[in-house]
Structure 1
Amino acid sequence: MNEHTCDCPSCNCKVGSHGIERDGKHYCCQACADHHPKGQACSTSSGCHCGDKAK
């Protein structure tokens, strides 16, 4: 998988070799792929707060 920015809105983490592909989109972690259920935090970077903005 090529490294590019996660498809989760507000996330700027890179999708690495352990990224998740779902419905043609690429996510950096399971939380982003699942659209942050119950505000689950992005597990790729402690500095990324995209889960805080998920509804």
Structure 2
Amino acid sequence: MSDSDKVKCACPDCVCRVNPNEAIQRDGRPYCGEACANGHSEGNGCGHKNCGCHG
């Protein structure tokens, strides 16, 4: 899969792109990981390189 086939994580502060078939789906929106999908409820970032999101 090329990067052009990936979609942006639905977390507003996240810069990650994710394969829609492998994304964590919440309310019909794709997320790159549990932290983003859970709204960073524990204050942790997604942990992906070069991404500083924390919700």
**Shorter-chain TM-score above 0.5:** yes
Q: How many residues align?
A: 50
Q: Which structure features the higher share of helix residues?
A: 1
Structure-2-length-normalised TM-score: 0.74
For the aligned residue pairs, the C-alpha RMSD in angstroms reads 1.5
In structure 2, the residue matched to 1:34 is 38
Q: Which runs of 4+ in 1 moved over 3 A?
A: none
Unaligned runs of 5+ in 2: none
Structure-1-length-normalised TM-score: 0.74
Unaligned runs of 5+ in 1: none
Over alpha carbons, which structure has the higher Rg?
2
